[in-house]
Amino acid sequence: MLPEYFEFSLPTRVLYGIGVIDQLSEAVASYGRRRALLVTDAVLVQAGLAERVKAGFRQTAIEIACVYDQVPPNSTIRTVEDCAALGRVHGCDLIVGLGGGSVLDTAKVANVLMVKGGRVQEHMGAYLLGQTRLLPLFLIPTTAGTGSEVTKVAVIADPEHDVKLPFAETQFLPDLAILDPELTRSMPSKLTAATGMDALTHAIEAYVGKEWSPAADGLALQAIRLIRDNLLLACAQPDHLPARGAMLVASCLAGIAFSHSMVGMVHGISHALGGVYHIPHGLANALVLPEVMAYNLESRPDRYADIAEALGVVFPRPGAALGNLLRYGGLGFAVPWVRPLAAVDRWFRRKAAVAGIAYIRDLNRQLAHLTGMPLNLRDAGVSDGLAKLEQVADTAMTDGAMLYNPREPEREAVIRIVRTLYETTVAPLPVAATDLRPAGATAVTREFRNVFPDSETLYRVLGGFFERLKVDPQIGGPLRASRLCVQFAYENPAAVITIDARGDEVRIYRGAEFGGEPEVTMRMSADFAHAFWHGRVNLVSALTRRQVVAKGNMPKTLKLLPILKPAYALYPQYLAEIGMKEAA
């Protein structure tokens, strides 16, 4: 089934990679020389992340002209105004946001003020900018939760009125979102837990919401799977970069999903808890999520069953299993006999949907065990006996997110949920080793830097290596048989080596010795070439990352595939032979 109408677009270029912050030259080259305002916060400056990002930009034409580092958690109107004023004073023409959702949202709204002027409140609303172009915006998340780096919304607190102001503009979608798991590593476990639950809430609310759409559905379910496999792991092992990376990607996918499908009643209530009681956004979502799932269940039982399955809560489907067994086992005539079992399958799906809610409750308790995350509003800091409950309910009922909830939100339900969350007493749940599932494999490769100090060394080492390939009994034959002419153009240090196998024997040319036309030219850094011959990098992904720029008939180089494996084995051996043991 499809919705009657949907839109999907993502103008943002998303870059993901461990350490990708150090490799920005190509990604930002098209912006030319710019003066950037870096928006961040004091904690991130203290943690060295701002310096790390500045160092990344030093390799580009973008100068960080000034730094606004005073964004508090749940940024305020005043913060945004001060930030924009600083950017204007320094004549900035690009904005870089580095931080959690509070910083990224500040960068978005400050961008509006820098271009349009006026007060923050004047810009509150949805799609008021029309065709106005804002300054180029790069967003670099340091938490894995809000997905703000790919959403067209921003939330800014108005402390005078205890509310959070919503903004929605297509122009908030940044030009570049840079996802580097290393920048999330310093998150304390409690923050990892809360922000991870924020991402899970985005995915779940996007999937069950009224504005669901097929592309967002796919992203939401994949985000749920990634969170299932990595959230506990990232909390238990903060330095586990593959788990950190998976959470960052999940948060981004969930962000894209909810930026299209919107969020619902969980957010309506947690925005109110944030505005009135200053409960951190992710924590509020974590606590409210299972309550609202239970409230909504009847309106979307099938979708909640899908969510349960994505969470790994898979119940048997005897009807479908037996039917398939008969149909594909050559007993198709018996399929009609098992059709009545479809009712049993539906019963199990419903049970799974309910169990999915229990899964979320247990997940919260496990996170509490691992990180000390509070499990009720008293422990989360509500110390007035819930005296502002009516205010919370009023604020929640006028929150825009309520419009998208699959079931009409009732005020009494909001009051009941908030009261339950205040009164409840649940114990943390110990985490078994089996709950810490292995994260999806993200290769963490040893980095090589400045292996070849000068061109002469490069010619000696790589040129010599190619000469060795020629005479190697396993490699020489296939190399000759390839009848290929490939030129490698190296940078840092500069060198050109051409391997020409088109004649009777393979010839290796250094620099200008080769005067012909190669069939394929591959441009890459010398360090990349070194890592390549170690077998540590993948050429296909290097092409995607523009670490290798190839010109000519690339598919022809497939003829070289048979030599790669033995060449990888030979390279470290050869380096050791020529006295480069430390690079071997």
> Which spans of this chain sit near ligand NAD (rule: CB under 6 A)?
41, 43-44, 47, 73-74, 99-103, 105, 142-143, 145-148, 151, 153-155, 164, 183-184, 186-187, 191, 195, 198, 281-282
Which C-beta is closer to ligand NAD: that of 168 or that of 368? 168
Which C-beta is closer to ligand NAD: that of 47 or that of 335? 47
Structure tokens at 507: 């010839």
Which C-beta is closer to ligand NAD: that of 172 or that of 459? 172
- For residue 103, the minimal CB distance to ligand NAD (Å) is 6
Q: 3-state DSSP call for residue 441? A: coil
Quote the CA–CA distance of 502 and 520 in Å, as a whole number: 13
Q: Contact at 8 Å (CB) between 200 and 231?
A: yes
Which C-beta is closer to ligand NAD: that of 187 or that of 524? 187
- For residue 146, the minimal CB distance to ligand NAD (Å) is 4
Phi and psi at 521, nearest 5°, equal -120, 135
Q: Report residue 120 CA to chain centroid gap.
A: 29
Quote the CA–CA distance of 425 and 570 in Å, as a whole number: 63
- For residue 576, the minimal CB distance to ligand NAD (Å) is 40
Closest CA to 143 of 276, 63, 262, 44: 44
Q: Contact at 8 Å (CB) between 77 and 157?
A: yes
- For residue 373, the minimal CB distance to ligand NAD (Å) is 13
- For residue 246, the minimal CB distance to ligand NAD (Å) is 16
Q: DSSP per residue over 34-56, as a string?
A: EEEEEE--HHHHHTTHHHHHHHH
Quote the CA–CA distance of 65 and 80 in Å, as a whole number: 18
Which C-beta is closer to ligand NAD: that of 153 or that of 575? 153
- For residue 129, the minimal CB distance to ligand NAD (Å) is 16
Q: DSSP per residue over 213-278, as a string?
A: -HHHHHHHHHHHHHHHHHHHHHHH-TT-HHHHHHHHHHHHHHHHHHHHH---HHHHHHHHHHHHH-
Which C-beta is closer to ligand NAD: that of 104 or that of 537? 104
- For residue 191, the minimal CB distance to ligand NAD (Å) is 5
Which C-beta is closer to ligand NAD: that of 86 or that of 154? 154
Quote the CA–CA distance of 188 and 280 in Å, as a whole number: 14
Looking at residue 462, what DSSP letter applies? Answer: I
Which C-beta is closer to ligand NAD: that of 74 or that of 498? 74
Which C-beta is closer to ligand NAD: that of 187 or that of 273? 187
Q: 3-state DSSP call for residue 302? A: helix
Which C-beta is closer to ligand NAD: that of 102 or that of 525? 102
Crossing angle of helices 301-310 and 189-208, in 10° steps, is 140
Q: Contact at 8 Å (CB) between 72 and 41?
A: yes
Quote the CA–CA distance of 111 and 96 in Å, as a whole number: 10
- For residue 188, the minimal CB distance to ligand NAD (Å) is 6
- For residue 437, the minimal CB distance to ligand NAD (Å) is 23
- For residue 99, the minimal CB distance to ligand NAD (Å) is 6
Phi and psi at 71, nearest 5°, equal -75, 125
